[in-house]
């Protein structure tokens, strides 16, 4: 595995290759969820590139960028063992310029749900993903369905800016207790983790209701809110796959999303129907 930190070096190396490239963008603290993205990339491509970059522009003022878990040594080992060909680990100075041209998230879909809790967060995500996709120029780029809104906005950006990359959506991985894998899970105490299980349970209850024929979004939402009590709920949203609110669940065109805070930890989960 080659570790590269310079944009110029990476571009020079990639220009000499004539292979399909699978790309996984990460902020490090790699877990099974990332390994699953890498496995998908290995399955479909000749060359696999992973980037680790804790992107400062997607943290809002007051959010503790310094506290974001950094595990470079373990991450490098995980990438090596997972068969990654190139690990790109740039410094912020390699990617960002003073007074630069910026891409911004759309007015509505960039500012609801996660974008309402963290206004401006998706500007930073899209800005860095645009840069990374332009540097790596992958054939396929892999993003998890767990960050459903991020995935949706990246797909919109690729479409609106005519980027030549195929975005592959990868299913959420769960621990054996049902909790969706996330770098933030390490912050949960044992008691908090038990409480956090109300999140996947609420989604399970929603899918049970839908399987039994219920379609009313309001009814499903109320049941989920009940199930999530007494967690500090950020949102429970039932949307179509274009991230617009719906009254009735439509099979193959619905996503149900939850954000809740457990202790100090904000957790996200969702199901795609
Ligand atoms: O999902 C993440 O880890 C980040 O938001 C991403 C896509 C790597 C951009 O920094």
Contact 270, 238 (CB under 8 A): no
Q: For residue range 27-76, what is the model confidence (pLDDT) as tens digits?
A: 999 999 999 999 999 999 999 999 999 999 999 998 888 888 899 999 99
Please list every protein residue whose CB sits less than 6 Å from any atom of ligand 1: 25-27, 55, 58, 125, 128-129, 147, 150
183-272 CATH choice from 1.10.1270.20, 3.40.47.10, 3.30.1300.10, 3.40.50.300: 3.30.1300.10
Point out which residues pair with 47 in neighbouring strands: 21
Rounded to an integer, what distance in angstroms lies between the CA atom of residue 98 and that of residue 104? 17
How many angstroms does the Cα of residue 45 sit away from the middle of ligand 1?
21
Q: For residue range 181-236, what is the model confidence (pLDDT) as tens digits?
A: 998 898 999 999 999 999 999 999 999 999 999 999 999 999 999 999 999 999 99
- Give the residue, by CA position, lying nearest to ligand 1 atom 5: 125
Percent of the chain with pLDDT strictly greater than 70: 100
Which has the closest alpha carbon to 53: 142, 124, 148?
A: 124
Domain definitions of the chain by residue range: 2-170, 183-272
Largest CA distance in the chain: 57
Contact 219, 208 (CB under 8 A): no
- Give the residue, by CA position, lying nearest to ligand 1 atom 3: 26
Look at strands 254-262 and 232-240 and give their pairing: antiparallel
pTM of the model as a whole: 0.95
Homologous superfamily assigned to 2-170: HUPs (3.40.50.620)
């Amino acid at each position: 595995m080659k570790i590269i930190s310079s944009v110029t070096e990476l571009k020079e190396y990639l220009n000499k290759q004539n292979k399909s490239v699978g790309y996984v963008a990460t902020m490090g603290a790699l877990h099974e969820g990332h390994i699953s993205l890498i496995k998908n990339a290995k399955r479909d491509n000749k060359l696999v590139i992973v980037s680790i970059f804790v992107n400062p522009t997607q943290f809002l003022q007051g959010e503790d960028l310094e506290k974001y878990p950094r595990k470079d040594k373990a991450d490098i080992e995980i990438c090596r063992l997972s068969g990654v060909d190139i690990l790109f680990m740039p410094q912020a100075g390699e990617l960002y310029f003073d007074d630069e041209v910026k891409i911004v998230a759309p007015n509505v879909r960039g500012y609801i749900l996660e974008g309402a809790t963290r206004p401006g967060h998706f500007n930073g995500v899209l800005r860095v993903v645009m840069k990374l996709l332009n540097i790596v120029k992958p054939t396929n780029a892999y993003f998890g369905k767990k960050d459903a809104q991020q995935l949706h906005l990246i797909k919109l950006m690729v479409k609106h800016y005519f980027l030549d990359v195929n975005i592959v959506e990868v299913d959420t991985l769960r621990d054996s207790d049902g909790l969706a894998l996330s770098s933030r899970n390490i912050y949960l105490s044992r008691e908090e983790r038990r409480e956090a299980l109300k999140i996947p349970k609420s989604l399970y209850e929603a899918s049970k209701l839908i399987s039994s024929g219920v379609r009313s979004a309001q009814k499903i939402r109320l049941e989920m809110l009940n199930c999530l009590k007494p967690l500090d709920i950020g949102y429970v949203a039932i949307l179509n796959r274009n991230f617009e609110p719906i009254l009735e669940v439509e099979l193959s065109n619905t996503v149900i999303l939850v954000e809740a805070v457990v202790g100090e930890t904000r957790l996200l989960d969702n199901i795609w129907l």
